[in-house]
Amino acid sequence: MKNKTDGKIDRKWAIPLSILACLAIMYVCTVTGIASIPFRDANRILLHEFLHLDVDMEGITDGSITIIRSVRLPRVVLGFLAGASLAVCGAGFQGIFKNPMADPFVLGVSSGAALGAAIGIVLHFGTTLLAFVGAFLTITLVYNISKVGKKVPVATLLLSGIAVSQTLSATMSIIMILNKQSMDQIMFWTMGSLNGKGWGQIITVLPYSLLGIALLLTTCRELDIMLTGEETAIQLGVNVESLKKRVLFASTVITAAVISVTGIIGFVGLVVPHVVRMITGPKHRVLMPLSLLFGGTFLIICDTAARSMAVWEIPVGIITSLCGGPFFIYLLRRMKRGGGL
């Protein structure tokens, strides 16, 4: 019995403790960076600019204030928002697909967005908007291809996702070859970066993310049951087709909004829900909020590394994949040994 109570206390404190840890990391990442702003100065700027406290600002240059206010902090906030959004979508996708290898991009949302962005870059017109539209059109296409009567079988959904995704990627490659002058820009877009993003982008993404995440959080219990099998879920009163639609819709809104701003940031949506599931178990009521916190934190750390490690900036998508790839291999090895996931 003792263990059980301990376990309950652990669970009760898991989310508040994670929030605290997350805030601490956000703080550390804000004061860290390649521009040498002394630690003390950075603290003073934060207190003055955001808590509006009357601190002595003597000796701090306007440049430092701008770096903290308009460069680092928005990057940290957007990083958190993007990471959190992608991780929650990943958890949702892994739930409806009953497949631990699913991520928010598995149905081709990313390829659609990339194609849209590529067109935007070539035409010098509304890259973000076209990426968003591309992502949405793709998921609509995949969904309708997979539809059999009123139902959407999960296996067909995954397969048509892969097929559509490949086709769109190929189309994007053609665009790149035909427009060599834009190739670098398109390449960088597909690698994902938070570089040069500010409060404006955050305001754009925020409503979609909040709405989508709120919708996903209402599906927790049904997703739990879905993990025990689709037929069982129907027999336990889950409206499986509506659940799939809700999760797909919410995830697409979130993912499309995020990647149309940041580009494709891979592996966060795949790896984060996994790690959290290993720690907390499969119940979405805990898995979803913790994935949100962990995903956000993970991306902030990766982004801080991306902007601080080298003289030139590395796209954050490369860092996440660099961490995510080996971890994915580790997971595969574990599965092979029958470790279970």
Partner 1 sequence: MKENILEFHQIAAGYGDRQILKDVTLAIREGDFAGLIGSNGTGKSTLIKCVSGLLPLKRGKIMICGRDNTSLKSRERAQMVAVVPQSYHVEYDFTVEDIVMMGRNPYLSFRKKESQTDRDIVEEAMQMTNTAVFRDRLYNELSGGERQRVILARAIAQKPRIILLDEPTSALDVHHQIEVMELITRLNREEHMTVLAVLHDINMASRFCQRMIMLQEGVVTADGTPREVINRQNMESLYKMKLMIRESPLFHKPEIIPIRVMPEEKITAPCHIHVICGATEAVHLLEELDAKGYTLSAGVLNKLSEDWNICQELKIPCVDIEPFTPVTEEKQAENLEFMENADIILVAGVPFGESNIMNLHGLDQTRGELYIHRNALSHDYTDGKLAKQIQLLERTKDITYIETNSAFLEILKQKEYLDKNEA
Minimum Å distance from CB 283 to partner 1?
7
Question: Per CB under 8 A, does 69 bind partner 1?
Answer: no
Say how far apart CA 329 and CA 341 lie, in whole Å.
Answer: 13
Nearer to partner 1, 16 or 340 (CB): 340
Residue 275 in contact with partner 1, rule: CB under 8 A: no
Give the shortest CB-212-to-partner 1 separation in angstroms: 15
* CB 247, min distance to partner 1, A: 13
Q: What span, in angstroms and rounded, lies between the C-alpha atoms of 91 and 219?
A: 11
**What's the min distance (Å) between Cβ of 1 and partner 1?**
10
Which stretch, 57-65, 119-127, 237-245, 316-324, contacts partner 1 (CB under 8 A)?
237-245
> Looking at 5, 148, 180, 237, which residue binds partner 1 (CB under 8 A)?
237
Question: Among residues 83 and 282, whose Cβ is nearest to partner 1?
Answer: 282
Q: Give the interface segment with partner 1, choosing from 11-19, 229-237, 253-261, 326-334 (CB under 8 A).
A: 229-237
Would you say 108 or 282 has its CB closer to partner 1?
282
Q: Which of 41, 103, 222, 303 binds partner 1 (CB under 8 A)?
A: 222
Q: Is 341 in the site for partner 1 (CB under 8 A)?
A: yes
Using CB under 8 A, which of the segments 77-85, 238-246, 261-269, 323-331 binds partner 1? Answer: 238-246
The yes or no reply on residue 235 touching partner 1 (CB under 8 A) is yes
Tell me the C-alpha distance between 92 and 98, whole Å.
10
Report in angstroms how near the CB of residue 102 gets to partner 1 at its nearest.
Answer: 13
Q: Is 15 in the site for partner 1 (CB under 8 A)?
A: no
Structure tokens at 280: 């907390």
| Residue 239 interacts with partner 1 (CB under 8 A): yes or no | yes
With helix as H, strand as E and coil as C, how does the chain read? CHHHHHHHHHHHHHHHHHHHHHHHHHHHHHHCCCCCCCHHHHHHHHHHHHCCCCCCCCCCCHHHHHHHHHHHHHHHHHHHHHHHHHHHHHHHHHHHHCCCCCCCCCCCHHHHHHHHHHHHHHHCCCHHHHHHHHHHHHHHHHHHHHCECCECCHHHHHHHHHHHHHHHHHHHHHHHHHCHHHHHHHHHHHHCCCCCCCHHHHHHHHHHHHHHHHHHHCCHHHHHHHHCCHHHHHHCCCCHHHHHHHHHHHHHHHHHHHHHHHCCCCCHHHHHHHHHHHHHCCCHHHHHHHHHHHHHHHHHHHHHHHHHCCCCCCCHHHHHHHHHHHHHHHHHHHHHCCCCC
Burial pattern 234-273, b for ≥16 Cβ within 10 A else e, equals: eeeebebeebbebbbbbbbbbbbbbbbbbbbbbbbbbbbb
Determine which residue in the list 227, 275, 318, 323 makes contact with partner 1, applying CB under 8 A: 227
Nearer to partner 1, 66 or 235 (CB): 235
Nearest approach, Cβ of residue 233 and partner 1 (Å): 9
336 lines the binding site for partner 1 (CB under 8 A): no
**Residues 229, 325, 326, 339: which binds partner 1 (CB under 8 A)?**
229
Q: Which stretch binds partner 1 (CB under 8 A): 105-113, 172-180, 227-235, 318-326?
A: 227-235
**Contact status: 98 vs partner 1 (CB under 8 A):** yes
**325 Cβ contact list (under 8 Å, min separation 6):** 267
- In the bound state with partner 1, the residue whose beta carbon lies nearer, of 197 and 277, is 277
What is the binding site for partner 1 (CB under 8 A)? 4, 98, 218-222, 224-225, 227-229, 231-232, 234-240, 277, 281-283, 340-341
